[in-house]
Amino acid sequence: MPQATTKLNAFPVFVRVEGEAVAIVGGGEQALAKARLIAQSSAVLYIIAANAEPELLAFIAETGANHVAAGYDASRLEGAVMVFAASGDETLDRRVAADARRLGIPVNAVDRPDLCDFFTPALVNRAPVAIAIGTEGAGPVLAQMLRGRIDRMLSPSLGALAALAASFRNAAERLPRGNIRRRFWSDFFGGAPARAVEAGEFSRAREAAADLLTSDAPVRGHIALVGAGPGAEDLLTLRAHRLLMEADVIVHDALVPEAVVAMGRRDAERLPVGKRKGCHTKSQAEINALLVELGRAGKRVVRLKSGDPLVFGRAGEEMAALRDAGIAYEVVPGVTAAFAAAADFELPLTLRGVSSSMVFTTGHDLKGNSLPDWAKLAISGATVAVYMGRSVAAEVAGRLIEAGLSPDTAVAVVENASLTNRRRFHGTLADLPSLEARADLSGPVMTIIGDAVAGANFERSEPLAAHRHAPVAATEGVQP
Ligand code: SAH
């Protein structure tokens, strides 16, 4: 068995190419792939091909690369800082590699590692920041996979932030070496300047960086109210994931699964504040106070809420407390439970000619005497998503029917939407009350009502009404 080596046989470096000539020999797909890669730099590209394929010609026209439309000979390579033998013709590629080597120019021959002086990496480009991934030719697929992963981790505005950093380098040199300078840069890349760049507000970013240079005020904290999505880790947004990776503290609700919280930075402090057996439960006022306290302590906090933070998430109160305390915050949307439930059911929430509006409601406002506005919308054809609706299922169904919605209106119910242990139920408004009596549903439940529900896929769902007729329901289901 080959001994695994811990030494690199190809060492990564960054080659200066600005304004320098790079020569690619070849007129086909391989040449185009290399041309695309090099075109991400400010090198001057020479494509040497007597016969270039249409796609390559289009690329040349589009990018203004130089096309040497002539047969190959060694003199074409002169003056280049690197050469690619990418003709797809082994004899020609060998000749190109030999010529380049004789001229003292490093060469890469596509798919012939034995002829290569250097390899091209899979590249994550956030110019001026570049992340190059190399596998010494062992696995292009592996390299692309890593590339994708790293790309998702990094903010699209990283390049702009790095460019801004470069413009502050001289000023930062005037700070005392050591802790103070380090602190400046860590606040620059992790604090207000970075957030302003992220929001596309460059002059605010510049001001924030200038503030960091001059003030010796303590670092200001920042709270991100982040939607964790309905439960599946991979329904977290990229932005949510990035913030989780940067957080000092993660404050999360009980509904956010452990697997999602675990996506955060490993050494971030985790504070559960939700209502779940065995974990400390805080009142909303206590949560508000906690967020303010963490912000004052200069922490980068992710306040993780299930679904979308602005849908039945009490984010309004938390934002008000933060505003009053003068603590910076932002909101990151998430996939709300209604959308996850609809996806699980392949249920069109709007359906041409059937339903063109949608209501997010709790049903808890049905307890009063007057019918809330949303009930009227339901009657006029809106699709209704009922959050926290299990304990008021009978009330919701009864009042809607009383108000004129047909008892035959389609209803879809999903427990644990988006998770592997989800359960789906379908039926009609007349069946909905049976939901309250079900002791077998312990996860969060989303109910969707409306004619558009009829367009869902019921292949993997159980009938809602079955429970009504089950012997156990006959006794247990009766309301006092
Ligand atoms: N902010 C959240 C809602 C919080 S209220 C969001 O946007 O989704 C809590 C209610 O959301 C639960 O009672 C349930 O009705 C619904 N819910 C949350 N996660 C769910 C899930 N995975 N499956 C079904 N319903 C869910």
Query: Is the minimum distance from the CB of 447 to ligand 1 under 6 angstroms?
Result: no
Which phi and psi (to 5°) does residue 361 adopt?
-145, 170
Query: Is the minimum distance from the CB of 412 to ligand 1 under 6 angstroms?
Result: no
Question: How far away, in angstroms, is 261 Cα from ligand 1 center?
Answer: 17
In this predicted structure, the answer to whether residue 8 has a pLDDT above a threshold of 60 is yes
CA distance 31 to 47: 8
Which of the pair, 66 or 480, is modelled with greater confidence? 66
The runs of H, that is alpha helices, within 123-223 are 140-153, 158-173, 179-190, 192-198, 202-214
Query: Is the minimum distance from the CB of 274 to ligand 1 under 6 angstroms?
Result: no
At 216 the pLDDT is: 64
What tokens were used for 378?
């339901």
| pLDDT tens digits, 138-195 | 778 999 999 999 998 899 999 999 999 999 999 999 988 877 787 789 889 988 899 9
What tokens were used for 182?
């380090």
What tokens were used for 365?
């406002």
* Nearest atom in ligand 1 to 422's CA: 23
CA distance 387 to 478: 23
CA distance 400 to 402: 5
275 catalytic, yes or no? yes
User: Which residue in 73, 234, 275, 373 is the catalytic one?
Assistant: 275
| pLDDT tens digits, 416-460 | 999 999 999 999 999 999 999 898 999 999 999 999 999 999 999
Closest protein CA for atom 6 of ligand 1: 307
Look-up of token digits 């938390």: 318
253 catalytic, yes or no? yes
In this predicted structure, the answer to whether residue 230 has a pLDDT above a threshold of 90 is yes
- Radius of gyration for the chain, computed over Cα atoms and rounded to the nearest angstrom: 30
Question: How far away, in angstroms, is 446 Cα from ligand 1 center?
Answer: 7
CA distance 97 to 87: 11
Question: How far away, in angstroms, is 408 Cα from ligand 1 center?
Answer: 25
In this predicted structure, the answer to whether residue 472 has a pLDDT above a threshold of 50 is no
Confidence of residue 266 (pLDDT cuts 50, 70, 90): confident
Look-up of token digits 């040349």: 60
At 222 the pLDDT is: 92
For residue 216, what are the CA distances in angstroms to 181, 211, 248, 301, 328?
A: 12, 9, 21, 22, 18
**Interval 336-353 mean pLDDT:** 96
Nearest to 117 by CA among 11, 46, 7: 11
Of 270-279, 287-296, 392-401, where does the model show the most confidence?
287-296
Confidence of residue 246 (pLDDT cuts 50, 70, 90): confident
* Nearest atom in ligand 1 to 335's CA: 7
Classify residue 351 by burial, with Cβ atoms within 10 Å: 0-12, 13-18, 19+: middle
Model confidence, pTM: 0.73
What percent of the chain has pLDDT above 70?
Answer: 92
* Nearest atom in ligand 1 to 417's CA: 23
CA distance 352 to 452: 9
CA distance 279 to 256: 13
**Interval 24-41 mean pLDDT:** 97
The runs of H, that is alpha helices, within 299-448 are 315-325, 337-344, 373-379, 393-402, 434-437
At 276 the pLDDT is: 55
Of 18-27, 141-150, 387-396, 463-472, where does the model show the most confidence?
18-27
**Interval 333-359 mean pLDDT:** 96
